[in-house]
Amino acid sequence: MKKLVTGATGFIGSAIVRELLKEGEQVKVFIRETSDTRNIDGLDVERAIGDIRDGNSMKQALAGCDTLFFTAAYFHHWTPDKDLPYEINVGGTKASLQAALEDGVEKVVYTSTNNTMGAHGPVPVDETAEFNHWKTGDNYSLSKYYAEIEAKKFGEKGLPIVIVNPTLVIGAHDIKPTPSGQMIIDVATGQMPGYIEGGTNVIDVEDVARGHILAAKRGRVGERYLFGNRNIPVSEYFNLIAEISGVKPPTFKIPYNLAVAMGYVFEMGSAVTKKPPVVTASEVRIGKKQEYYDCSKAVRELGLPQTPIEEAIRKALDWFKSNGYLK
């Protein structure tokens, strides 16, 4: 039977599609009428049109499928419509998983985020960590936290669901680009004016895609798995990108309070231009925290690959360069 992938035109979703095709699987993609399909153009997949908030269209798309890879999400830290992240991430989760429950699919791999586990300082935390981004004002993180709660509720109703939580994902085919991809572009082009010291965990998008396939095969129903690789200070990460790019790294360490104020100024400008800000105040608050994670459960139970992040950075840079993102 076929595998259905939502969010298939996106960074992680399209990587999952390519990985499934490598394995010889039949793939159906669930996309919106207005989706940018460059990431799946030319791939041998069946297309179903709909919206994750519409349970009926999801139910129709699930016909003939035994597995659902649910990667669709509203992934923006700023939006002029504050309700939209909740409508898509929470509402879409509820409508789609209800359709999957009624359809009786054999497995659901639900893509969440490390944000739902918060950031807890220099000691790496695992899947038992509790959300602590309440005061950041970040609607993306909050909406994904509430969405994951809904996903767990469906597991309690009998839906065979496995939740996966990727960390900072980088690599090729980041057409949007995502915030993680934009950071690489900004450092590589010398447009990163400075940095706020913090900590992050980085993983190759191809490892994340492979992890989803492994979660469908080996993941324990009702469990969640952190998909990450290397914990690294932000300054060291930027230095690594700069070294591989052959440019000078950003050296100005921006004072935290100044960075938050700049975030608010950028947001006010975006309220007028309707274009995303360079950075938001909520991103600054999260960025200062050390998002270090222990991802050994996914490595141990699923066999999650651990490609060196230097290689992932090179793949991202090569793709951005060949596709005109690096001027």
pLDDT mean for each 10 residues of the chain (327 residues) = 97 98 98 95 97 97 98 86 94 98 98 96 95 91 97 98 98 94 94 90 98 98 98 96 96 90 85 78 83 97 98 98 93
CB-based contact 127:226 (threshold 8 Å): yes
Instruction: Look at residue 24 in the predicted model and tell me its pLDDT.
Output: 97
Instruction: Look at residue 121 in the predicted model and tell me its pLDDT.
Output: 85
- Both tokens of 241, joined, read 């990108």
Q: Let me know if residue 9 belongs to a domain.
A: yes
Instruction: Look at residue 280 in the predicted model and tell me its pLDDT.
Output: 83
Q: Which residues pair with 293 in a beta bridge?
A: 125
Instruction: Look at residue 181 in the predicted model and tell me its pLDDT.
Output: 95
Q: Let me know if residue 54 belongs to a domain.
A: yes
Q: Let me know if residue 37 belongs to a domain.
A: yes
CB-based contact 234:200 (threshold 8 Å): yes
Report the domain count for the chain: 1
Instruction: Look at residue 163 in the predicted model and tell me its pLDDT.
Output: 98
Q: Let me know if residue 327 belongs to a domain.
A: no
Q: How far apart are CA 62 and CA 96, in angstroms?
A: 10
Q: Let me know if residue 131 belongs to a domain.
A: yes
Task: Give the domain extent around 231.
Answer: 2-322
Instruction: Look at residue 210 in the predicted model and tell me its pLDDT.
Output: 98
Q: Let me know if residue 152 belongs to a domain.
A: yes
Cα torsion angle, 159, 162, 166, 169, sign: negative
Instruction: Look at residue 262 in the predicted model and tell me its pLDDT.
Output: 86
Instruction: Look at residue 229 in the predicted model and tell me its pLDDT.
Output: 98
Q: Let me know if residue 28 belongs to a domain.
A: yes
Q: How far apart are CA 269 and CA 263, in angstroms?
A: 10
- Both tokens of 278, joined, read 């360079």
Alpha carbon dihedral 39, 98, 79, 165, in 10-degree steps, equals: -70
Residue type, 137: G
Instruction: Look at residue 105 in the predicted model and tell me its pLDDT.
Output: 97
pTM of the model: 0.95
What is the CATH classification number for the domain harbouring 279?
3.40.50.720
Instruction: Look at residue 269 in the predicted model and tell me its pLDDT.
Output: 83
Q: Which residue has the tokens 């396939």?
A: 213
CB-based contact 316:222 (threshold 8 Å): no
Q: Let me know if residue 271 belongs to a domain.
A: yes
- Both tokens of 29, joined, read 């993609």
